[in-house]
Structure 1
């Protein structure tokens, strides 16, 4: 027994020593790696400064550091945002993730209940387009509000450039969220969707793999993303100024009176205007007004010219094929594919499904709100959204009988102030 104890303790001590040594070695290696990266980065910036190719000061380096931190959040979650060295392996082959300049990158921005799911299908049904449905929701609950715009543009850039490293938050999000994955034809079909054996009635896919997703993504030259999570259009500027992207921004808007009724129905809320609901409408229209004035104020930001187009939901609903072709022309996508035209025919004649369904009798539903909204609610929305209605060509209704009379058209032509913004840039 004594002999056994004599040999047992050294083994335990030895094991503990090995573990401790490995831990210390790992920490030391990480510190050395981080220090070397900082040294190399500083050396490069210093060299640029000496050669006159760059400022090489702290102000110039901070955006790069911020970008590394944002990518760290996307890869490893917010707990790792202060450890940029964890992302060092990500950029060493950056050229491998670059997108051809002939590619087209379409970003649909809008507000909730504005018909964006329907608009997104114009791209999702196109077999040549890699479509993403609300990818920014993956970071909505994990990133502090003040850091959300920067992380949002970083994630959009990752998607457009097919950067999907292991542990990327978006891949984990899509693998867990049925609606967002199944809303993308590419993500929910082979080879990115391997059927998972389950007793559930609805089809499910196995978790997305980084290598497969990146490989499949690089086969595409046309990309589209639909999101309701950009509060300010100016937050998109970094993407618009990225020379490796051929960005097209489609800004979808809707009559706030119709948006209010659509939200009330989807959330099963009363349609009467309470104080809280009035505040919600006021916030919606303030947000819309700020974005509309940002675009229409003189001078219009240079980075928006030729890449921005406003689309009214009502125009899309009244003339779906004509509006869809106009959008494709703007994006440089050519004629509508036959299957997209057929999809429009099949999905704009009848209404069925839940509040997120894209099948609608569009010729009727675009002004359905007129017959269900209380007149007092309509007046209340008009009072707080007057500037938005004016900028977008929506008529106010001062009397109840005019609101209910279908012969009264509440949709005027889109004001001419928007026309010049839709023209492509002159290339000379």
Structure 2
């Protein structure tokens, strides 16, 4: 059968297009990485995730199956309130915990800190803020905000590649010979308090001191060798960073879209009334006028209302953007309510780790059990403590705030409360009646 010259041209063009696509695909990602080393949890633009490894799901301490052919298989559904692709740790995952101060971010960060394959960093952007905007926690000036966010994004990108020396530029005084004793909250990271970073690590019976008394790590380990820390970062499969210094998830768009990073964002939210109550107790000087209002029933004329207004504005803007499910956040964004985690820590942690492609190791489960059954009084005495009765702590703010402060907060934060499923109260009896929860049962399904 003869073909016209037009048909021949069309066939030739189609052939060229197919070859070009294939060349681009295999030059960008070697064939071995497509399955045998498979990304596993990568999301195809127009299709479901495919697991190219044999992984374990759900339960604590489950290990990856060994001795089996890691051929591609269809994803299975874990037993949780939403479906996520199965666990596959064959590709490095970078996790950013996006939160605000006193929203439970230290607790969530420690979940990752207990994982033996995760390199965890506590608030590295603290140093960026301290160097660029030393007097402002969250600058509202557009020019200053651009400078801060630009530097923060550059540093986060470097940290994802384990280029920890980039952090040295912001540490004051500047590290000498890549050694410093000024890294903010070093003791909150196990990876920075154990070999190869620390030459005098804590004994197995003393590991709890890393969290209970962060200063113990610094005393035993001495100055931090940034080069050794970078080596430890490269040896771990995954990296997690906690920050309260990125106000909006859209500020991370360039990082999320970078295919080299495999960055996933966990946006942690909490009832703003609970955030305010915690800040009043924790930052006594900064929130002195709020305590005066609570004690006297009269709102001071010079009270900085922006201390709670800004929280609700930033949360509402960021959460609305995430829940709008833009294409660039597909498979990269999870909204987590602190109250849900506090009520069911094991279940929510399994769901969280499933979404991220991490196994729930025995050490993570053990830490949860040890840190969610403590006394609420103990957590109140420790500014950044994580040992508490988590379920009781979630709504303990109802015993701490006055009715008029709650009414004001509800008024300015009403759109956020509605969006996140937090109930309002209309009289003092509802406020103190802890048998009536102010947290609606609601599931925020990840965008997969």
Please give the TM-score of this superposition, normalised by the length of structure 1: 0.69
Kept after mapping to 2: 8 A contact 1:162/1:214: yes
* More RCO (CA 8 Å, sep 6+): 2
Kept after mapping to 2: 8 A contact 1:195/1:203: no
Kept after mapping to 1: 8 A contact 2:158/2:166: no
Most deviating of 344-353 and 394-403:
344-353
Partner of 2:336: 311
Segments of 4+ in structure 1 off by > 6 A? none
Partner of 1:156: 156
Structure showing greater Rg: 1
How far is 1:289 from its partner?
Answer: 1.2
Q: Does 1:142 align with 2:170?
A: no
Q: Which of 420, 434, 438 is residue 406 of structure 1 equivalent to? A: 434
Partner of 2:268: 252
Q: Does 1:123 align with 2:112?
A: yes
Partner of 1:393: 421
C-alpha change, 1:167 and 1:260, in structure 2 (3 Å) is closer
Partner of 2:245: 229
Give per-residue Cα distances to partners, 1:261-284, cap 9 Å, x unaligned.
000001234162545243321111
Kept after mapping to 2: 8 A contact 1:166/1:210: no
Give per-residue Cα distances to partners, 1:162-215, cap 9 Å, x unaligned.
11348833675893336511011001222212359xxx9772533333432332
Kept after mapping to 1: 8 A contact 2:122/2:185: yes
Partner of 1:331: 356
Q: Does 1:340 align with 2:345?
A: no
Partner of 1:97: none
How far is 1:371 from its partner?
Answer: 1.4
Most deviating of 141-150 and 392-401:
141-150
How far apart are the structure 2 equivalents of 1:150 and 1:287?
Answer: 18
SS at match of 1:191: coil
Kept after mapping to 2: 8 A contact 1:188/1:205: yes
Partner of 2:192: 187
How far apart are the structure 2 equivalents of 1:359 and 1:149?
Answer: 33
Q: Does 1:363 align with 2:375?
A: no
Kept after mapping to 2: 8 A contact 1:178/1:204: no
Partner of 2:4: none
Give per-residue Cα distances to partners, 1:207-248, cap 9 Å, x unaligned.
333432332221112110000000121110111011111111
How far is 1:423 from its partner?
Answer: 3.8
SS at match of 2:258: coil
Kept after mapping to 2: 8 A contact 1:278/1:380: no
Q: How does 1:407-422 map to 2 (within 5 A)?
A: 407-414=435-442, 418-419=444-445, 422=446
Which runs of 5 or more structure 2 residues have no equivalent in the other structure?
A: 1-23, 25-88, 133-143, 202-214
Kept after mapping to 1: 8 A contact 2:155/2:167: no
Aligned length: 316
Kept after mapping to 2: 8 A contact 1:315/1:323: yes
How far is 1:292 from its partner?
Answer: 1.8
C-alpha change, 1:396 and 1:379, in structure 2 (3 Å) is same
Partner of 2:306: 279
Partner of 1:264: 280
Higher helix share: 1
C-alpha change, 1:195 and 1:177, in structure 2 (3 Å) is farther
How far is 1:410 from its partner?
Answer: 0.6
How far apart are the structure 2 equivalents of 1:274 and 1:246?
Answer: 48
Please give the TM-score of this superposition, normalised by the length of structure 2: 0.66
SS at match of 1:108: strand
Give per-residue Cα distances to partners, 1:268-314, cap 9 Å, x unaligned.
341625452433211111111111222234xx321112110000010
Most deviating of 151-160 and 264-273:
264-273
Please tell me the root mean square deviation across aligned C-alpha atoms, in Å: 2.4
